[in-house]
Chains A and B, each alone.
Chain A
Amino acid sequence: MAVLVDKNTRLLVQGITGKAGAFHAKSCMDYGTNVVAGVTPGRDGETFEGKVPVFDTSSEARKATGCNATMIFVPPPFAADAIMEAVDAGIELVICITEGIPVMDMMRVKTFMKGKSSRLIGPNCPGIITPGACKIGIMPGYIHKPGKVGIVSRSGTLTYEAVWQLSSRGIGQSTCIGIGGDPINGTSQTDAIKLFNEDPETEAMIMIGEIGGTAEEEAAAYIKQYVKKPVAAFIAGATAPPGRRMGHAGAIVSGGKGTAAAKIEALLDAGIAVAHTPADMGSTLAKLLK
């Protein structure tokens, strides 16, 4: 059953006629995801891949198809608006893949979302996958394997790395959630850990963090208090020079806060098994399962 997405997910793709949107919408369909609609303003009435209807707006798509999740591939200057449009349409799960949205725009989105029931994943994220059931995002589907380990991560490619290490060992995943590398995002590490903790299908978790912010410290505090399931973790950026933006706007150490050392200390204090290198994420979790 996993978390958030499964066989019953009816997916809308915003930006479906764009180059990246089209490529990944197709790859999600190939994986078995039920893509029911697409949105590109001005392209109402067209069909994608000969079967998916395209609409001008998210609310039209929602009314016509009952879509309950959306994957956003809209370019950065228009992505914040696309998120708000989807939330306004009442779509339950909004997954924003777009990288490079201005922070001020995301603050407006967060203000707009207050009191509304939609959940946002991302932006600047790979998406979410429940292996064997539903893939929403840009992750390579074939590396995944259905199973019992939940993964939450701020980094896309590091998530693939963790998944690959698990799958190669025969360990499957319940759901993998990429929450994205931006300083202001929707679902947090703690939110994802809560979902996995409450999911009977998930028996263990991997949390992948990065330097910057305090999301991992907050998740560690939650895990210490509420989580009995085994948790492994990795923090990227231990050797990054302070004050420089390492690609992810969220991954910046300033004023001695958000260092890898501080995060690792909080994780260890919460009884979490910390992988020393990114090559050890799978083996660290495997040891916990024994």
Chain B
Amino acid sequence: MNIHEYQAKELMEKYGVATPKGKVAETPEQAEAIAKEIGGSNLVIKAQIHAGGRGKGTFTSGFKGGVHLCDTPAKIKDFASKMLGQTLVTHQTGPEGRLVNKLLIAESTSIEKELYFAIVMDRTSQSPVIIASTEGGVDIEAVSEKTPEKITHEIVDPALGLQPFQALKIAKSLGLKGDLTKQAVKLFQNLFTMFLKTDCSLLEINPLVITKENKVLALDAKFNFDDNALYRHPEIVAYRDTAEEDPREVEASKFSLNYIGLDGNIACMVNGAGLAMATMDIIQYAGGKPANFLDVGGGASEEQVTEAFKILASDKNVKAILVNIFGGIMKCDIIAQGVINAAKIVKLEVPLIVRLEGTNVEAGKKLLKESGMAIISADDLADAAKKAVAAATGK
């Protein structure tokens, strides 16, 4: 799950992480009031959408730029009126762009130096690892490739937490001195606490800045949260902005379905993430393109299968639907009944290819046969992929 920049800022403030002064506005008047409250003449106004490339984006109204520097509250109000309610197109949004409903008004910091700080869940050490670098504000992957010596790694025992000596070691590796070291140690420890307490899987501060006024601030932040742990973080779930997501995925998430929209034309319904991925692979190998990833999982109910099938069948790009089930926990008859139910609700206009194997396979096949639905049945995985590609291309 992704969150907005202003939400990340709110979260960091809650955990005592120093960030530039700022607040979110939903009207030009609010934007002006926040600018007055911050004071001074170094202000910035930023469109709040999940996609990157905001600064270089263009609104469909013709107004250029989703990020602007301003020196007076009046100008903030003027910019806000040109940005709110407008659609911003960036290289990451696609041509349809994203509607801007919120703006972040913040103090624009005078940057002395940009650094990089991140905490990730490392699989090899099976612990959180801190990654820090003197090269901030740039793509860290490029730094890691060209100048790996400029990156510091520190493994942290999750049971003990980030020890002060470790935080200090990281601060020193970033070349910090005097009071800046103290500020950084506090900031790192607070970020680590936040990482643990909110079940983050990735926390990236890029850049972490040293200001001309000798302050260490988290300027821009990116957080990923462990979906499996969201049940215990209602405050983070509340940050979810479904307007920023693929509508197909929003619909799927209402029924706890593991769905990811893709841009091909063969929809697939599979049980098990590995088999679902492999089904996408084999569709491509057979010359087709998958329209989605969908793992209906082991414990899906008939209702979930019905909803899943409705999402697939109502996708306008879809030219064929492939159901590939190898029942373990999932019983083939449940899948069959779900498909039959869904087909009664949505008119199925594309060919349906079904391959069933595993638990209760005979019952499943019998249900489908007795339903009288037009189904292309497949014997195995390769056969199913071949038939789906042929059906999608009308051959």
A residues neighboring B (CB under 8 Å)? 20, 24, 76-77, 99-105, 107-108, 110-111, 126, 138-140, 143, 153-158, 160-161, 164-165, 181, 183-184, 208, 210-211, 213-215, 234, 236-241, 244-251, 255-256, 276-280
Contacts and interface: CB of A to CB of B under 8 A. Distances in A.
Nearest to B195: A104
Contacts of A255: 141, 144
A255 B24 CA distance: 31
B118 to A, nearest CB: 11
B180 to A, nearest CB: 29
Counting chain B residues whose Cβ lies within 8 A of the other chain, the interface size class is: 35 or more
Nearest to A126: B328
Contacts of B359: 140
Contact of A102 (B124, B199, B271, B293): B199
Interface string B104-144: 00000000000000000101101110000000000001001
Given A102-B228, A140-B358, A278 B299 contact: no
Best-surrounded residue of A184, A213, A246 (most CB of chain B within 10 A): A246
B126 A184 contact: yes
B66 interface: no
B382 A277 contact: yes
Given A20-B329, A158-B275, A214 B123 contact: yes
Given A236-B281, A246-B273, 17 more contacts: A20-B298, A102-B226, A102-B228, A104-B226, A138-B298, A140-B328, A140-B358, A154-B274, A155-B272, A160-B328, A160-B357, A215-B123, A239-B290, A244-B260, A255-B141, A277-B381, A279-B382
Contact of B274 (A156, A164, A277): A156
A241 B262 CA distance: 9
7 contacts: A140-B359, A156-B272, A157-B272, A158-B272, A164-B357, A236-B278, A238-B284
Contact of A239 (B144, B231, B281, B357): B281
Contacts of A158: 272, 274-275, 278
B277 interface: yes
Interface string B370-390: 000000000011100100000
